[in-house]
Chains A and B, each alone.
Chain A
Amino acid sequence: MKPPAFNRTLRQLVALPILLLLILASFLLWQIQATARAQRELDHSDQVTAKLQELQNLFIDQETGLRGFQLTGDPVMLAPWKAAASPIQSRFGDLQQMLAADADQETRLQDLQRRYNEWLGFADAVLHQDAAALNAARMNQRGKEMMDGIRAVAKRMQQHESNLREARFRHARWLQRQELVSLLLSVFIVGAVLAFFTRHHVRAISVSYLRRIADITQRSEELYESQQWFQTTLESIGDAVIACDMDGRVAFMNAVAEKLTGWSLVEAKGQSLEVVFRIIHEQTRQAAENPVAKVRRLRKVVGLANHTVLIARNGHESVIDDSAAPITSGLGDMIGVVLVFRDVTEERQMQSALVASEKLAVAGRLAASIAHEIHNPLDSVANLHFLLDQETNAEKRAEYLRLAQQELGRTMQISRTMLSLYREPKAPIEIQLRDLVDGVLLLLDRRLQHQGVRVETEIADSLTVEGFPAELRQVLTNLIVNAMDASGPKGRIRIRVQRAEATELRGIGALIDIADSGPGISPDAVSRLFQPFFTTKGANGTGLGLWVSMGIVQKHGGSIEVGSSDDPGLTGASMRVYLPARTFAGVPALSA
C-alpha cells in the first residue's frame, strides 16, 4: 500500500463511522419526533374529551338551575345557570380552536352550539313567562327534548373523540414498537457495517505493513549485496580505478590502482589526488593537469592528454591511457570524480615493435627491387670484366671500360637512393614534394613496369612541406604499392599533388591524391582500413602499412581520407593525404 492509499484508508476509517452515526441519529430523531407527534395527538384527544365533559357538566348545571327556577320561581335557583353561562362560551371557544382541523367534529360542534343556542332561546322564553306557565308539562317536555338532543350530539362527539383516541393510541404504540425495532435493527446494521469495514481496512493496512517490512528487509539485503557486488567488481576490474570527492581527496582505489600508484587504499584515503596520482607529460616531463580540476571545470568525461606518464610512489614510471568522469548524485549534482586508467607501457612497446616490423617488411619489399636494380648492372660489369680480360683490341677495351663505368655509376646511384631512404634527419626539414614523389617512383619503377601499370603525375611546382622525408617516402611507397596491387596488370594510377588552401579545420599545406583504376574499396573495408593487421592481400600483406602510414601522417599533423576520383577511368579508391606546410612533429616517435 502506497502512502496516498494508506492516508485514504485512514480517512475512511474515521469518516465512515461518523457518517453512519449521523445517519443513525437523524433516523432516530425522526422516529422520536413521529412518536412525540402521536403522543401530542393523543393528549389532544384527551383534552377534547375533557372539554366536552366539562361542557356537558356545565349544561347540566344550567339545566338544573333552570329546573330549580321553574319549580320554585325563586331567582336564587338561577345562580348555577348564570355561573355556567360564561364558562360554556369559553369552552365552546376552546373546542372550536381544538377541532379546527377535524371537519366532522367541527360540524358536530356547530350543531351542538346551534342546539345550545336554541335551548338558550327556550330558556329565555321560560325565564320571561308566568309562574303558572313555568311548570307546564308541555314546557318541561320541550326543554327535556332539546337538552336530550344536545346531550346526544355531545355524546356523539365524545364517542368520535374516543374512537379517534383509540386509533391514535394504537398508532402511538405501533410507532413505539417500530422505534424500538428500528433502533435495534439500525444499531445492528451500523455495527455490522463498521465491523466489516474496519476489519477489512485494518487487515489491508496490516498486510501492507507486513509487506512493506518484508520489502524493506529484502531491499536492504539487496542493497548490501549490490554494494558488495560493485565493490568486488571495482576491486577485480582490469583497469585502475580511483574515486575522489569534490575536493580532490582519494575516497577509493582498486587493487590495480594500488599497484600502479604504489599507494595502498588505507594510506591513500583522504590524501590529495596530486600526491597519489602523480602524472607528467611523457616527452616534456612537465606536470600534467590535475584531472579532478579539469572534470570540475568541464563537468563532463575527459580523456586525459596523450603521452601521460604516471610516477608511482617508488619512482617507477608507466605510460597510461586514462579518462576521468564526474560522479553525479541522483539529483544531478556533481559529488566527485572517478579516474579510470591502465598501463599501456607494454602496448606502446608492442606498437613500436609493430611499426618496426612494418618498416622491415617495407625494407624487404624494397630490397627485392633494389637487389634487382643492383644485380643487373653488377651482372653487366662482371660480364664486361670477362670480356676485357679476353679482349686485345684497344678500342673495344675502351668501350667495355666505358660501359662498366656507366653500370657502376648506376649501381652507386641506386645505393645512394636506398641509403637516403634510411637516413633520417633529427628534426623536420623542408621537402620538395616533386622530388619526394619522383624518388619513390624511381624505386618502384621496375615493379610498376613489371605489372604494366601506367603512372600519371600532376605535381604542382615548388610545393614544399616540412617533415621527415624517409617516413613520408614510406607513406607514399605504401599508398602507391596499394594502388598498384589494386589496379592490377595494365592498370592506371594518377598521382596529383596540389596546394591545399587553409580551411577552418586545417592550415595551408599540400594535398596528395593517389587514385587507381582498381575495383575500389568496400565500405566495410574502408572502416577498418587503418586498423593494424587489416589486409585485403591475404598472406601477401602485413596489414600494417596503412596503420603505420596513418601514424606517420598524423604525426606530421596531416590526415588520410578515402574517397573516389572525379576521373571516370579511375574507378578505384582515391587516397587523399593532407600534409600541413608547417609540422609540429618533434622527434620521430614512430621510428623504431
Chain B
Amino acid sequence: MPTILCIDDEALGLQIRRAVLERAGYQVLTAVDGPGGLALFRKEPVDGVVLDYYMPEMDGGAVAEAMRRERPEIPIMLLSAYINLPPEVVQLVDMTLLKGEGPLELLEKLRLMLRSEGSSPGRFS
C-alpha cells in the first residue's frame, strides 16, 4: 500500500487524520512541523504528502517548495483552514483541500492524486 506523509502542527487533528488514512489502508508517517516532515520525506519511501499550510515558522508553502526541489515527482496535497491560499503556493502543489470538507473528500482526492502520480502539478486542484 502507498505510504503517505502527513504534516500538521495540530497534533490531535493529525492523529485523527492518521487513523482515517490507516483505516483506508494507507501506510502513514506523521510530523508536527515542516523541518520534521522534510527529514522524513528525505529518509522514507514516500508516495504522497498531505501537508497543512498554516504552521508556525515554516509554512506549508515553504515545505512544498523544498520537496518540489528535491523530488518533484512526489504528489503533494495541501490542506488548509484558510480559504485564501496564496496563488503561487496553489500552483506548486497537485491538490488542495479545505479542512472541514470531510474524510470522504480527503480520501477521494488522495486516490485521484496517487493514481495520476507523475502528471503535471496543479492538474486536480
A448 to chain B, nearest CB (A): 9
Which residues of B lie under 8 Å from residue A406 when comparing CB positions? 12
Give the bracket for the number of chain B residues in contact with chain A. Answer: 20 to 34
Instruction: Flag if B16 contacts A384 (CB, 8 Å).
Output: yes
A356-387 vs B: 1/0 string, CB under 8 Å?
00000000000010011111111110111111
Task: Kindly state the separation between the CA atoms of A387 and B13 in the bound complex, as whole angstroms.
Answer: 13
The contact size tier of chain A is 20 to 34
Chain B residues numbered 66-125 whose CB sits less than 8 Å from any CB in chain A: 79, 81-84, 98-104, 106
Residues A378 and B99 in contact in the complex (CB < 8 Å), given A368-B84, A387-B23, A407-B12: yes
Report which of B56, B100, B106 forms a contact with A452, defined as CB distance below 8 A.
B56
Say yes or no: B12 contacts A371, CB within 8 Å. no
Q: Closest A residue to B103 by CB, please name it.
A: A386
CB-CB under 8 A from B65, the residues of chain A are none
Q: Is the CB of A403 within 8 A of B12?
A: yes
- CB atoms of A379 and B57 under 8 A apart: no
Q: Taking CB as reference atom, which chain A residue is nearest B105? A: A382
Looking across the interface, which residue of chain A has its beta carbon closest to that of B22?
Answer: A387
Q: In the complex, A379→B12 CA distance in Å?
A: 11
Binary interface encoding of chain B residues 1-36 relative to chain A, with 1 for a CB under 8 A from any of its CBs, else 0: 000000000101100110110010000000000000
Selected contact of B16 from candidates A387, A450, A489, CB within 8 Å: A387
Q: In the complex, which residues of chain B have a beta carbon less than 8 angstroms from the beta carbon of A452?
A: 56-57
B99 touching A379 by the CB < 8 A rule?
Answer: yes
Q: How far is the CB of B7 from chain A (nearest CB, A)?
A: 14
- Shortest Cβ distance from residue A76 to the other chain B in the assembled complex, whole angstroms: 181
Residues of B within 8 A of A378 (CB): 99-100
Chain A residue at minimum C-beta to C-beta distance from B56: A449
Give the nearest-CB partner of B13 in chain A. A380
User: B10–A386 contact, CB under 8 A?
Assistant: no
* B55: interface (CB < 8 Å): yes
A382 near B82: Cβ-Cβ < 8 Å? no
Instruction: Please tell me if the beta carbons of B20 and A371 are within 8 angstroms of each other in the complex.
Output: no
Decide if A446 is an interface residue (CB 8 Å cutoff).
Answer: yes
Residues on B with beta carbons closer than 8 Å to the beta carbon of A382: 100-103
Q: Which residues does chain A contribute within 8 Å of B82, judged by CB atoms?
A: 368, 371-372
Contacts of B55 in A (CB 8 A): 450
A407→B17 CA distance, assembly (Å) = 14
Residue in contact with B81 in the complex, picked from A371, A390, A403, A449, CB distance below 8 Å: A371
A379 nearest CB neighbor, chain B only:
B99
Chain B residue nearest to A453 in the complex (CB): B56
Looking at A368, A376, A387, the one whose CB has the most chain B CB atoms below 10 A away is A376
Minimum CB–CB distance for A401 against chain B, Å: 12
Q: Which of B83, B103, B106 contacts A371 (CB 8 A)?
A: B83
Q: Which of A318-377 contact B (CB under 8 A)?
A: 368, 371-377
User: How far does the Cβ of A447 sit from chain B's closest Cβ, in whole Å?
Assistant: 9
Which A-chain residue is minimally distant from B52 (CB atoms)?
A376
What CA separation (Å) do A423 and B96 show in the bound complex? 35
* B59 located at the interface, meaning its Cβ lies under 8 Å from any Cβ of chain A in the complex: yes
- Residues in B with CB closer than 8 Å to A375 are 81, 98-100
Report A458 CB to chain B, min CB distance, Å: 23
State whether B59 touches A450 (Cβ < 8 A): yes
Are A450 and B56 closer than 8 Å at their CB atoms? yes
Q: How far is the CA of A360 from the CA of B79 in the complex (A)?
A: 27
Distance, CA A303 to CA B2, complexed state (A):
77
CB-nearest residue of chain B relative to A396? B19
Question: Which residues does chain A contribute within 8 Å of B79, judged by CB atoms?
Answer: 379
A382 CA to B19 CA in the complex, in Å? 12
Question: CB-CB < 8 A to B102: which residues of A?
Answer: 382, 386
CA distance A390 to B104 in the complex (A): 12
Instruction: List chain B residues, Cβ under 8 A from A387.
Output: 16, 19-20, 23, 103
Tell me the minimal C-beta distance from A382 to chain B in angstroms.
Answer: 5
Task: State A382–B79 Cα separation when bound (angstroms).
Answer: 14
Does B81 contact A379, Cβ atoms closer than 8 Å?
Answer: yes
A379 and B20: CB pair below 8 A? no
User: What is the distance, in angstroms, from A397's C-beta to the closest C-beta of chain B?
Assistant: 12
Interface-centre pick from A373, A383, A406, A489 (highest chain B CB count, 10 A): A383
Q: Which residues of B contact A371 (CB under 8 A)?
A: 81-83
15 contacts between A and B (CB under 8 A): A368-B83, A375-B81, A379-B13, A379-B17, A379-B99, A379-B101, A380-B10, A380-B17, A382-B102, A383-B17, A383-B19, A383-B20, A383-B106, A385-B103, A387-B103
- Pick the 9 closest A-B CB pairs, nearest first: A375-B81, A379-B99, A386-B103, A372-B81, A449-B56, A378-B100, A375-B99, A375-B100, A382-B102
